[in-house]
Amino acid sequence: MLTLLIILGITIGLFVWGKFTPDIVALMSMLSLFLFGILDLPETLSGFSNPTVIMIASLFIIGEGLSQTGWTALAGQKFVKWAGKSVPKLLVLVTLGSGILSGFVSNTGTVATLLPVTVSAAYKMGTLPSKLLMPVAFGSNTGGLLTLTGTPPNIIASNALVENGFESFSFFEFALIGLPLLLISILYFRFIGYKLLPKNTSENQPINIDSEMHQWIENYSIDENIYRLRVRSMSPLLNTTIGEWDFDNKHNVSIIRLRRRFPNLVKGVKPYVEFPTPDTILQYHDIITVKGKTEDVDNLILKFKLNLIPFKNNNDDLKDEFINQEVGMAEMIVTPKSLFLGHNIPMGLYLEQAGIQLLAASRNNKPLKDKNVAVKAGDAFIIRGTWERIEHLKSVYKNLVISGSPESMAKDVNKLTFKSYISLAMLLLMIVLLVFKIVPGAIAAMISAGVILLTGCVPMAKAYKGISWISVVMIAAMIPMGIALQKTGVAELAANSLVTNLGSIHPIVLLGGIFLLTTGFSQAINNSATAVLMAPIAILAATSLNISPEPFMIVVAISASTAFLTPVGTTTNAMVMAAGDYKFMDYVKVGTPLLLLFFILSLILVPMIWPF
């Protein structure tokens, strides 16, 4: 028992110290339990086959599906649009929005989505990000309490009940306490928290596609010499290939994109040809996007009997034309050692080997208007390609600089596609399977995640990146600690101590003690690790008093998600720290009143909803 307590103390100390990542700390703890003979091999590795771990990994993929296909970006931008010019209204919306989103998407994914639009809206409304970002982080932490899958502690608490012979919580049962807590959070930030939030200036503005597009139009004039033309019934282009006409050389015009007016998915005719090749066949009513000088495009219209389709709005129309979930744009700068130096490259040309299209160029901060550009060191280009191609371009050509983060920008695309509705349908399918208990939770999540992967909503490479492996490995490696606590009698000793000192007074006093102990851990270590540690203690404390363990497990889930006092308690708190330029004491100042409100409300409502 003493050895286990030493290992536990060192583990918690390492979590607080932060020198090593949480997964490494958890793995060292797990290994120590085996080496000191506390657990045997099956017990030591039991966490990696635990349904909780499998379900959480699957949920990351489902959340990534919603993010990659535009739902989270669309939701975030809608919140900002609805706020209009009202800062208090925006504060309420981002807190409410982050709460609702995090009920179905990971807390980290929610904050990652809302962070850029919130920062952008803050500057537009004349306020500072520091007045809005902490509510987003705390709102996402609270919103995880709306559903069973909203945050890992909910799943851990529910599975702990099942493992001890009790019935699990239903999918929306957490909302009975989650909704009141989210409402309290919104009211707190609207009337009290906003006054406590600091006014910190920050120059770290995240990349936003709309603002980037505006800058590109201004710096590169990419809106110039871009036209959309429709292939009419009498056009000689009908049923011919692009290569037959040699548009670049004979007509000085590049075909950038092609939209089918009459797609036929059954016959393999897709709605868009993002990067037309010489073998691409032109069909009736196709809309082709071309780049070329006005006089050359006019000659093309006359010669091939085409219709001109004007752009309605340069910024929005160009974004819709060139950017979606699969295809994006970025800024590329050529260094003195680049292989591109000296090459004469026409704008609008698709470089198949590199997988990119050159849309516009700038030299010495001045747009280059020529059709062909002789590349020099320092030249900057606006490039277009699949997000993967842009992301990997730096590894293909080492002497190029890609500005910004293509992967982050890809998640800022709010245009919905067929795959968007597949991702949403899979989320709803998982909810139905869980609500009606058709299959176990881990299987329901795996089915939905599997369909999202098989349908290409999330490419396999991005699916692996979308899973927070640090969290998954940490939870799997910490589960054996919970087994060790029960096996050695430490959990029973802790539970008996709580019962003797607090339970003898009243179950509510015991409930309060568990809340304070759990929230104390959560300020320093991951909420999942906290829930794993406290779940067996809470259940033993309840069963020793012959009362229902449900209210205690609900309190464990709530208090494990109340890391409001430090920036290290949750990833979401850390994510907004730099963007809001928050200091450690800012969290203490703003989080303490909210934590007190959660404590009081939980002790009042939990026993009423889940009687002892």
Q: 187-200, pLDDT tens digit by residue? A: 999 999 999 998 87
For 561-583, where are the alpha helices, taking DSSP H only?
571-580
**Phi, psi for residue 311 in degrees, rounded to 5:** -75, 135
Residue 305 has pLDDT above 80, yes or no: yes
Residue 204 has pLDDT above 60, yes or no: no
| Confidence (pLDDT) at 551 | 94
Section 136-160 average pLDDT = 90
Residue 547 has pLDDT above 80, yes or no: yes
Q: CA-to-CA distance for 208 and 192, rounded, in angstroms?
A: 30
Tokens matching residue 515 = 């809340």
Q: What is the dihedral of CA 163, 165, 166, 168, to 10 degrees?
A: 40
Decide if 578 contacts 516 (C-beta within 8 A).
no
The secondary structure element, H or E, covering residue 334 is strand 327-334
Decide if 254 contacts 347 (C-beta within 8 A).
yes
> Of the candidates 556, 561, 564, which has an alpha carbon nearest to the alpha carbon of residue 595?
564
Our separate counts of H helices and E strands in the chain read 27, 13
First to last CA, the chain: 31
- Average pLDDT of the chain? 83
The secondary structure element, H or E, covering residue 545 is none
Proportion of the chain above pLDDT 70, given as a percent: 90
348: exposed, middle or buried (C-beta count within 10 Å: 0-12, 13-18, 19+)? buried
CB-side exposure of 487: number of CA atoms within 13 Å? 15
| Confidence (pLDDT) at 116 | 63
Q: What is the pLDDT of residues 335-390, one digit of tens each?
A: 888 878 878 888 877 877 778 888 888 988 888 887 788 888 888 888 888 887 88
* CA 123 and chain centroid, separation: 22
Q: What is the pLDDT of residues 257-276, one digit of tens each?
A: 999 877 765 456 678 888 89
* Architecture per CATH, 323-410: 2-Layer Sandwich (3.30)
Decide if 99 contacts 140 (C-beta within 8 A).
yes
> Of the candidates 276, 297, 296, which has an alpha carbon nearest to the alpha carbon of residue 286?
276
Q: Give the pLDDT band (50/70/90) at residue 54.
A: confident
Tokens matching residue 595 = 């934590």
Residue 429 has pLDDT above 70, yes or no: yes
Lowest-pLDDT choice from 2-16, 52-66, 204-218, 561-575: 204-218
Using alpha carbons, list the distances in angstroms from residue 457 to 263, 319, 421: 20, 21, 10
Section 564-582 average pLDDT = 76
> Of the candidates 60, 323, 96, 97, which has an alpha carbon nearest to the alpha carbon of residue 216?
323
CATH code matching the domain that covers 210-320, chosen among 3.40.640.10, 3.30.70.1450, 3.30.465.10, 3.40.1160.10:
3.30.70.1450
> Of the candidates 478, 519, 504, 522, which has an alpha carbon nearest to the alpha carbon of residue 160?
478
27: exposed, middle or buried (C-beta count within 10 Å: 0-12, 13-18, 19+)? middle
| Confidence (pLDDT) at 347 | 81
Using alpha carbons, list the distances in angstroms from residue 168 to 164, 447, 524, 553, 554: 10, 20, 28, 11, 11
Q: Collapsing DSSP states into helix, strand and coil, what is residue 128?
A: coil
Q: CA-to-CA distance for 19 and 69, rounded, in angstroms?
A: 36
Q: Give the pLDDT band (50/70/90) at residue 491.
A: low
| Confidence (pLDDT) at 406 | 63
Tokens matching residue 237 = 């282009």
| Confidence (pLDDT) at 452 | 92
Where in the chain do CATH 3.30.70.1450 domains reside? 210-320, 323-410
